Amino acid sequence: MKDPKGTNLTWHTGEVDLVARRRAHGHRGATLWFTGLSGSGKSTIAHRVERRLIERGAFAYVLDGDNVRHGLNRDLGFSPADRVENIRRVGEVAKLFTDAGALALTAFISPYRADRAAVRERFDAGAFVEVYIDTPLEVCESRDPKGLYRKARAGEIADFTGVSAPYEPPEAPEIRVRTAEHDVDACAAQILGWLDARGYLDGDEGETER
Ligand code: ADP
């Protein structure tokens, strides 16, 4: 591995490989990267999927935007550079979870295609699953679960995605979830069905490509 800062770092390969980890957990490691507007349902659906996976005995964990900003990323604000770094760090943490054999679920708006593509690049084929929570802006705004759209429209929040900052929808997400048409349980079931159908939830290596 490249030595990023010339400090003689080496990459230690352990004694446990992906196959052994997969067998131990009963499923493969992967990151489900949820993206969508504020209020689209990323967090709600990610937590429902996490619960269903845990009920099945899986090793699943949600990395949630606000929670990560309390700790790992508490030094970061909302400037363009800090937003990029926020997503990069979360991507790296999700990758560590994935390498550990977990099903990591991330719930970040992550509005820019380039940032999502940079995270995807860090993963092996099939280990990064982009989940587009496709909810029309009007629906997100009418839900306004945190009152943020109201504040953004009143000019109290600058650069608010969908109002005064762009959202670049995924062009080819692995999963597209339409929350205006299906309730939370149905959306979670769609995601679990996708994983199941592609062998992600099997403990033995199978076909897990798209
Ligand atoms: P985000 O994490 O994308 O900002 P949240 O999950 O915090 O969004 O909020 C979504 C809101 O929409 C919640 O109040 C949730 O109850 C509501 N909601 C209504 N229908 C759905 C659905 N089908 N899927 C997800 N959330 C839904």
100-114: pLDDT as tens digits: 999 999 999 999 999
Pair of tokens at residue 69? 């900003």
Report the C-alpha gap between 44 and 41 in whole angstroms. 5
| Structural domains in the chain, sorted by start | 18-197 (3.40.50.300)
Report the C-alpha gap between 138 and 36 in whole angstroms. 13
* CA dihedral angle for residue 75, residue 81, residue 83, residue 88, rounded to 10 degrees: -90
CA of 17 to the centre of ligand 1 (A): 37
pLDDT of residue 206: 58
pLDDT of residue 40: 98
Contact 21, 101 (CB under 8 A): yes
The mean pLDDT value for 52-66 works out to 94
Q: C-alpha 19: how far from its chain's center? A: 23
Tell the residue nearest (CA) to atom 10 of ligand 1: 41
Q: Which atom of ligand 1 is nearest to the CA of 46?
A: 6
CA of 140 to the centre of ligand 1 (A): 8
Q: For a pocket test of ligand 1, which of 48, 50, 139, 143 has the largest count of ligand atoms closer than 8 A to its C-beta?
A: 143
For residue 2, give the nearest of 10, 12, 89, 13 by alpha carbon: 10
Tell the residue nearest (CA) to atom 27 of ligand 1: 41
CA of 101 to the centre of ligand 1 (A): 28
pLDDT at position 146 over 80 = yes
* Cβ burial, residue 191 (10 Å; 0-12/13-18/19+): buried
Cβ–ligand 1 contact at 184 (below 6 Å):
yes
Say which residue, 14 or 61, is predicted with more confidence. 61
Share of the chain above pLDDT 70, in %: 95
Report the C-alpha gap between 31 and 200 in whole angstroms. 11
The mean pLDDT value for 150-177 works out to 96
Cβ–ligand 1 contact at 182 (below 6 Å):
yes
Say which residue, 118 or 14, is predicted with more confidence. 118
The mean pLDDT value for 79-95 works out to 94
pLDDT of residue 208: 47
Residues 111-138: b if buried by 16+ CB within 10 A, e if exposed:
bbeebbeebbeebeebbbbbbbbbbebe
The mean pLDDT value for 135-162 works out to 96
pLDDT classification of 205: cutoffs 50, 70, 90: confident
Please give the radius of gyration of the chain, using alpha carbons only, rounded to the nearest integer: 18
pLDDT at position 16 over 90 = yes
pLDDT of residue 14: 87
Cβ–ligand 1 contact at 109 (below 6 Å):
no
pLDDT of residue 8: 82
Cβ–ligand 1 contact at 161 (below 6 Å):
no
Q: pTM (2 decimals)?
A: 0.93
* Cβ burial, residue 157 (10 Å; 0-12/13-18/19+): middle
- Catalytic sites, residue numbers: 110
Share of the chain above pLDDT 90, in %: 84
For residue 163, give the nearest of 137, 144, 134 by alpha carbon: 137
